[in-house]
């Protein structure tokens, strides 16, 4: 099967457009242990300085959030609860800190490797949840700030798959964001079992 690379201009679109368009794309991660791949099934949009749920809300610029201010296609990876590494893909032009959180995927290949990393056999738990996703794929915190394009170990490709229907709803775990917690900015492939809250 032929895979088309995602062009840089894909990530220069607004964060909501990119979020929906990422669904169905394939993320491939290689390492000394082998290669693993997933089809993206669930994401969340974080809309920069005006979004109270976004780490860069109000223009907050720190060593951690600095990658969000880079050009679309930059990796933003942060540690959650001191345990999990969460993968985000920055969107838009440099200086506009929007990003898409990758929440879940459908395992495609490299499944034994992902199962060993997660110590989980059940495919429906393997790469569902943003912390589980990065653990299964072996994505380290040190990649934060690096570009997706020409990355030596990570690539995002398109095989032409288009979801028949995309569902949306409020983001998960952002109650602290007040009214912004209610935006329907979580997107997932409707009917997929590989999402946080199937519907």
Distance CA 69, CA 52 (A): 16
Q: Which domains does the chain possess?
A: 4-189 (3.10.300.10)
98, 14 Cβ separation under 8 angstroms: yes
pLDDT of residue 1: 62
pLDDT in tens, 17-56: 999 999 999 999 999 999 999 999 999 999 999 999 999 9
Burial of 196 (0-12, 13-18, 19+ CB in 10 A): middle
Residue 45's CB is within 10 A of a number of other CB atoms, namely 28
Token pair 């201010």 in the structure block, residue: 69
Distance CA 36, CA 48 (A): 31
pLDDT of residue 83: 75
């Amino acid at each position: 099967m032929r895979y088309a690379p995602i062009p840089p201009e894909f990530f220069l679109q607004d964060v909501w457009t990119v979020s929906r368009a990422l669904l169905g794309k394939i993320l491939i991660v290689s390492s000394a242990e082998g290669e693993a791949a997933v089809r993206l099934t669930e994401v969340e949009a974080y809309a920069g300085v005006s979004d109270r749920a976004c780490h860069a809300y109000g223009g907050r610029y720190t060593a951690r959030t600095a990658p969000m201010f880079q050009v679309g296609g930059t990796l933003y990876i942060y540690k959650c609860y001191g345990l999990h590494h969460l993968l985000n893909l920055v969107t838009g032009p440099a200086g506009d800190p929007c990003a898409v959180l990758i929440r879940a995927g459908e395992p495609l290949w490299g499944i034994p490797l992902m199962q060993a990393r997660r110590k989980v056999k059940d495919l429906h738990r393997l790469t569902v949840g943003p912390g589980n996703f990065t653990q299964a794929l072996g994505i380290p915190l040190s990649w934060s700030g690096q570009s997706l394009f020409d990355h030596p170990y990570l690539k995002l490709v398109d095989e032409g798959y288009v979801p028949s229907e995309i569902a949306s709803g409020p983001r998960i775990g952002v109650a602290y964001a007040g009214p912004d917690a209610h935006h329907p900015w979580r997107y997932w492939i409707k009917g997929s079992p590989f999402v946080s809250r199937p519907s």
